[in-house]
């Protein structure tokens, strides 16, 4: 006898299975469903307006949202199953409400992106402009200001028609430009919309922010009408000045980077050490820093036994002030929103669901800044946080035989990296294996540094002498941290991966072994993590040569990349800007720890080319020929050297570590002599020729 199919019964059975799983109850919440809908909407809107097509990934996300609505329908929407009442009718009102909210947010997001992407992107000519500065972010070599600009009016007796107002971005080298200022300048804007089809991800992000024109300005040629500084700007300036007064240069740069959420304060060589050590995420203001800021009131007010709800409210105020002081990077914004939602639930006496707070913060960010969906910071921040929430417990149990101070940070690192690794491999072709060890040591030291620096500022507000002594202690803490990071960066655990081979695939499978429920009880499963790291390290390390010479021939001449251990020496003629991308890939493949450049012919074209390379590379030393002369084209080159704290050595002939080998090698290549024919070189290093078009 055939049984009659009942959709309602099948839906009830499926949702009942999900309801028995506590994990499903936590993750399948309406905010997760809305996040998927918004993500699919943003992808479809971007591809529709920019590429005149429909994004398959966006369609897949919308299809996934339809699939997850069934468990969301049962787990997150309260419903009492009464006899004689159909399953669908019981949740109809709440389900329709969730669908209407998701549909309304999706429609609003699509319309907003359409308004920004279809805005005025006409080809504007060179002229005199006046602009109002809406916001300013200090970058490493310039200030990036969002502006509303229009054609400058002549002060004549005849009043002309009101000019059109545009939104744009001004990248201003030098000058003191602040939010609210009025600037006047003569320039020609670069129209991004005209090249949207083949534009870079950064330009597409600008378009999705409603910015269609970019100005590249010299601060000395910009007329500025200063506005009254806001309380936030005055507080930032006072805090930055106090950092410079209390700490040395390196410590002050690190403190300002953490306080203001801007990594461009930190020297590129220091950032490279943190990156190679696998702790680069610490330099981004995020959950760790929000936790430290929120813990200060919890600790101080907890000593005097203040009511917990009052303490939580004070912590919310402290975190909010911290957010207002920063440039609000997406990772910090995500952490702050999550903390605010968690605090509200705790103050209201309700149980907090961390998955719900994570997805709600994603909904808020995507509605305000839809372009962040394509940003690397958004993907890494949410991927790492979701990985910790999903997998930390499994890794913690697998590593339970290790001491707690090792197993807890190791489990945190592994769970965070599991969802981040595919993003890093896809977008940056990078893989770091040293982070498993580095996070155990560096994270506590950086937490201590942040707390100690805040204490130094508090003491300096009371009396000058205690603040200076505390500043010296902070310098010592950061000096120790810097020495540890520099040592860990020497492990050579950072690799550039062009393609995922069978060895890396096997290592990733071993890394996920502790997540399998049936294997979780075996003692040997904890060894799978060590085996995964060993396989990945051996397979990637085998392709990195300790000593090599690569000759890069390009339209302007030849460039040598000489690697000796962790040092990479670059000598010769700098390539044109069009060939820099391929050259950067070759440099990344060598995975250098230190970089030095040798400029043997300091003419205008060569100095300009090396200025472009200096901005992209963490160079420690620069060797210049004695024929170098101070000219107009060299001003920007010297400014970059000063900003990056590059050691400059001007010599008459050869200079640097083993300079005769490097400079003589370049001269032989430039003269057409093959270096391996020289026995002195052929025994030590191999030679590789590449041509860049």
Following DSSP, what letter does each residue of 291-358 receive, concatenated?
A: HHHHHHHHHHHHHTT--HHHHHHHHHHHHHHHHHHS---HHHHHHHHHHHHHHHHHHTTPPP-HHHHH
Q: What Cα–Cα distance (Å) separates residue 556 from each residue in 362, 578, 579, 585?
A: 48, 12, 10, 19
Model confidence pLDDT, tens digit, residues 150-162: 876 554 444 555 6
* 476 against 195, higher pLDDT: 476
Q: What share of the chain is helix, strand, coil (3-state, %, to 5)?
A: 60, 15, 25
Return the ∠ at Cα 193 (arms to 188 and 195), rounded to 5°. Answer: 95
DSSP-based three-state secondary structure for 265: helix
Q: 3-class secondary structure for 214-263?
A: EEEEEHHHCEEECCCCCHHHHHHHHHHHHHHHHCCHHHHHHHHHHHHCCH
> Residue 268 in contact with residue 276, Cβ under 8 Å?
no
Both tokens of 137, joined, read 């972010």
The residue written with tokens 């057409």 in the block is: 672
Q: Is the pLDDT of residue 271 over 60?
A: yes
686 band by pLDDT with thresholds 50, 70 and 90: low
Model confidence pLDDT, tens digit, residues 574-610: 887 777 877 888 888 888 888 998 887 888 888 888 8
Residue by residue, DSSP assigns 25-53 as HHH--HHHHHHHHHHHHHHHHHHHHHHSS
Model confidence pLDDT, tens digit, residues 649-665: 887 654 444 445 666 66
Distance CA(77)–CA(210), nearest Å, equals 37
18 band by pLDDT with thresholds 50, 70 and 90: very low
Distance CA(588)–CA(584), nearest Å, equals 6
Sign of the torsion formed by the C-alpha atoms of 470, 471, 475 and 478:
positive
Distance CA(523)–CA(531), nearest Å, equals 14
Q: Is the pLDDT of residue 475 over 90?
A: yes
Q: What Cα–Cα distance (Å) separates residue 609 from each residue in 209, 599, 601, 613?
A: 31, 11, 12, 7
How many CA atoms are closer than 13 Å to the CA of 202, on its beta-carbon side? 3
Both tokens of 360, joined, read 């709600």
The residue written with tokens 């996934």 in the block is: 64
Q: Which uninterrupted H or E stretch holds 559? A: strand 557-564
| C-alpha R_g of the chain | 28
Model confidence pLDDT, tens digit, residues 360-376: 888 999 998 888 888 88
Model confidence pLDDT, tens digit, residues 175-228: 788 888 899 999 888 888 655 445 677 778 888 888 888 999 988 888 888 888
Model confidence pLDDT, tens digit, residues 304-317: 777 778 888 888 89
| pLDDT number for residue 122 | 66
Among 179-183, 332-336, 415-419, 578-582, the least confident range: 578-582
User: pLDDT averaged over the chain?
Assistant: 80
Q: Does the model's pTM come out above 0.75?
A: yes
Q: What Cα–Cα distance (Å) separates residue 359 from each residue in 383, 385, 423?
A: 12, 11, 19
Q: What Cα–Cα distance (Å) separates residue 430 from each residue in 132, 207, 276, 379?
A: 40, 28, 10, 15
23 band by pLDDT with thresholds 50, 70 and 90: low
Phi-psi region of 330 (alpha: psi -120 to 50; beta: other; left: phi over 0): alpha
Q: Is the pLDDT of residue 678 over 50?
A: no
**477-492: string of b/e by CB count within 10 Å (b at 16+)?**
bbeebbebbbebbebb
Both tokens of 664, joined, read 């003589």
């Amino acid at each position: 006898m055939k049984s009659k199919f009942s959709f309602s019964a099948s839906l009830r059975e499926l949702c009942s299975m999900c309801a028995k799983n506590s994990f499903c109850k936590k993750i399948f919440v309406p905010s997760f469903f809305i996040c998927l809908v918004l993500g699919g909407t943003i992808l479809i809107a971007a591809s529709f307006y920019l590429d005149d097509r429909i994004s398959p990934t966006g369609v897949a996300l919308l299809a996934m949202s339809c699939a997850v609505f069934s468990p969301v329908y049962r787990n997150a929407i309260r419903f009492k199953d009464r006899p004689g009442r159909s399953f669908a009718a019981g949740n109809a009102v709440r389900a329709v409400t969730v669908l209407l909210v998701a549909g309304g947010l999706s429609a609003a997001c699509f319309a907003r992106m359409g308004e920004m992407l279809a805005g005025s992107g006409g080809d504007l000519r060179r002229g005199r402009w006046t602009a109002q500065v809406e916001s300013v972010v200090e970058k490493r070599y310039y200030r990036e200001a969002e502006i509303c600009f229009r054609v400058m009016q002549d002060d004549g007796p005849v009043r002309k028609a009101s000019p059109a107002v545009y939104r744009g971005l001004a990248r201003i080298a030098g000058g003191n430009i602040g939010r609210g200022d009025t600037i006047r300048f003569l320039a020609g804007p670069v129209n991004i919309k005209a090249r949207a089809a083949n534009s870079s991800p950064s330009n597409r992000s600008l378009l999705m922010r409603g910015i269609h024109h970019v100005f590249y300005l010299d601060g000395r040629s910009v007329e500025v009408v200063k506005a009254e500084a806001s309380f936030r700007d005055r507080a930032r300036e006072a805090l930055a000045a106090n950092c410079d007064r209390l700490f040395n240069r390196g410590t002050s740069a690190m403190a300002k980077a953490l306080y203001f959420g801007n990594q461009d304060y930190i020297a590129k060589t220091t950032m490279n050490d943190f990156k190679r050590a696998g702790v680069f995420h610490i330099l981004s203001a995020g959950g760790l820093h929000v936790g430290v800021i929120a813990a200060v009131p919890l600790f101080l007010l907890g000593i005097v036994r203040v009511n917990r709800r009052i303490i939580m409210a004070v912590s919310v105020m402290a975190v909010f002030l911290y957010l207002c002081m920063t440039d609000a990077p997406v990772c910090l914004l995500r952490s702050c929103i999550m903390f605010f939602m968690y605090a509200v639930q705790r103050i209201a006496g309700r149980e907090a669901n961390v998955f719900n707070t994570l997805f709600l913060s994603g909904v808020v960010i995507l509605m305000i800044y839809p372009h962040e969906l394509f940003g690397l910071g958004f993907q890494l921040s949410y991927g790492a946080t979701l990985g910790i929430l999903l997998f930390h417990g499994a890794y913690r149990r697998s590593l339970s035989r290790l001491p707690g101070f090792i197993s807890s940070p190791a489990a945190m690192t592994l769970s965070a990296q599991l969802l981040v690794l595919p993003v890093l491999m896809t977008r940056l072709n990078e893989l770091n294996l040293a982070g498993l060890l580095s996070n155990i040591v560096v994270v506590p030291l950086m937490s201590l540094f942040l707390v100690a620096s805040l204490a130094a500022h508090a003491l300096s507000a009371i009396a000058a002498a205690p603040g200076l002594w505390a500043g010296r202690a902070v310098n010592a803490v950061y000096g120790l941290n810097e020495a540890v990071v520099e040592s860990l960066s020497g492990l050579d655990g950072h690799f550039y991966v062009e393609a995922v081979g069978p060895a890396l695939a096997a290592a990733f499978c071993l890394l996920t072994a502790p997540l399998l429920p049936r294997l979780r009880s075996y003692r040997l499963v904890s060894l799978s993590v060590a085996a995964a790291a060993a396989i990945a390290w051996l397979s990637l390390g085998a392709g990195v040569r300790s000593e090599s010479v690569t000759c890069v021939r390009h339209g302007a001449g030849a460039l040598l990349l000489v690697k000796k251990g962790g040092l990479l020496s670059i000598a010769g003629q700098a390539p044109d800007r069009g060939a820099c991308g391929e050259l950067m890939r070759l440099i990344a493949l060598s995975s250098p720890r230190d970089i030095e450049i040798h400029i043997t012919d300091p003419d205008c074209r060569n100095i300009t080319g090396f200025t472009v390379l200096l901005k992209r590379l963490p160079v420690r030393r620069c060797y210049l020929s004695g024929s170098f002369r101070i000219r107009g084209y060299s001003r920007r080159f010297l400014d970059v050297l000063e900003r990056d704290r590059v050691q400059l050595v001007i010599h008459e002939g050869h200079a640097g570590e083993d300079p005769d080998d490097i400079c003589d090698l370049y001269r032989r290549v430039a003269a057409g002599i093959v270096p391996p024919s020289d026995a002195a070189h052929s025994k030590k290093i191999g030679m590789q020729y590449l041509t860049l078009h």
